[in-house]
A and B are shown apart, each in its own frame.
Chain A
Amino acid sequence: MPKRNNTLRLNLLAMFIAIIILQTSIPLIGYIPIGPLAITIIPTTVVIATVLLGTVDGAIIGGVWGIITFIRAYIWPTSPLATIVFVNPIISVFPRIMIGLVAGWAYVALKKRLKRQSVSISIAAVLGSLTNTVLVLGLIYLFYKSKAPQLYQINMEKLLPYLIGVVGTNGVPEAIFSGIVTPLIATPLDRIIKRRT
């Protein structure tokens, strides 16, 4: 989006934050349960923000999601995974900021080369979603393999394969979902924003 107007940008960012808060607190629009898995569609929102508002704003929205995850891991955890993993701010916030950055860079690079915009949005969304999964997994591995001081004195070596299994099996359907849905939502919204500005 061209840098037209600071007030509009501030309000659009605020609306995206509101949607993220909504998605983290209402399961129906934040998570889609498929069998035993619950894949989150919040990375989709982050990528949509990135496509519509730009890379930096996408990273801000991702960061807000990370901070909410971090705080909720203490006061209102959503899953057993959160109480063990997301209490570490580096694991909860950093990967989410990277979703916006990676998706934004991919989108900007692909936009010039590919004719169909929806394809570049789709690839950016898949990359963004995978960034989240890979970074969360990698950081869990790094932090708990090195036996860093941790909140719960759990024997991580035994628990690690289960954790990686849970996050990994969520990651693949999440990436597929992002790849399909993001262009379907971002394309009409892009048209709406362009028409208004």
Chain B
Amino acid sequence: MNNFLFGRYLPGNSWIHQMSPQSKLTLSFYFVVVIFFANNLASYGALAALIIVVVLLSGVSITFFLKGIRPLIWLIIFTVSLQILFSAGGHVFWQWGPFSISDLSLINGGYIFIRFLLIIMISTVLTLTTTPLAIADGVQTVLKPLKKIHFPVDTLALMLSIALRFVPTLMDEMGTILNAQRSRGVDFGSGSLKHRVQAAVPLLVPLFTGAINHAENLSTAMEARGFSDSEHRSKYRVYRWQGKDTISWLAFLAVGGLVLWIRKH
């Protein structure tokens, strides 16, 4: 299943697992920004070294990362080939119609390939070591400053955690609906546009009806427990900023500074 967020979390007790979700989230974002400042082999090398340290610290076997990259490999190759065939400038080796290959485009293609790998690696580390609910909590902490302009951060975070909580439930229900319709002879995955439209309706109506039922039951349950607004809600798990977060940030900032320094010289 093509799944980028769910069922990927691996329980553990490593350095990365113990970091607070808000700093993991901001560090991933920061890392992706830094990647776009890298422009030569040395700076990409520094970032690759950092990511290798992060992967080792996460205590997750490397096969999980390879598994994460495998479904994307054709897409990456396709994008890199587009990059190579369509970029302009440099010493041209080969040209045919709109396509051309030059030394510059080959180098750029290689960099884009590394860039892809680095971004996928850092996001895989994040989702392998952080539960979806912890990510929602992290989002809430990161967005807290927006409260000053009356942006409903807490409501948003609660909505996000409820949504994440119900994704597996709805996925199960969808499996049941699919099997129920298949047993009635509905054929998903082949036929004309008209046929596919007819197949989609008996799949989506029960799915939405189920979702509406969940929303209703959950609101009744929440109100029965005295829920009035999401701002004064207490938490079962509280993630605090720790020494590990500070150290990781210092390391990432140092590598970021190094990349900028290499870029200048």
Contacts and interface: CB of A to CB of B under 8 A. Distances in A.
Interface residues of A, number: 54
A76 B174 contact: no
Contact of B32 (A10, A25, A74, A152): A74
B10 interface: no
B171 A26 contact: yes
Contacts of B204: 29, 41, 44, 181, 185
A19 B3 CA distance: 14
B170 A12 contact: no
Count chain A CB atoms within 10 A of each CB in B4, B72, B87, B201 and give the residue with the most: B4
A16 B264 CA distance: 47
Interface of B: 1-6, 32, 36, 72, 75, 78-79, 82-83, 86-88, 98, 108, 112, 119-120, 123, 155, 158-160, 162-164, 166-167, 170-171, 174, 178, 188-189, 193, 196-197, 200-201, 203-205, 207-209, 211-212, 214-216, 218-219, 222-223, 227, 229-230
Contacts of B196: 32, 34
Given A34-B196, A173-B193, A189-B212, 10 more contacts: A18-B167, A29-B207, A34-B193, A48-B208, A75-B119, A152-B112, A181-B197, A185-B204, A185-B208, A189-B205
Contacts of B78: 80
A172 to B, nearest CB: 11
Interface in A15-52: 15-19, 21-22, 25-29, 32, 34, 41, 44, 48
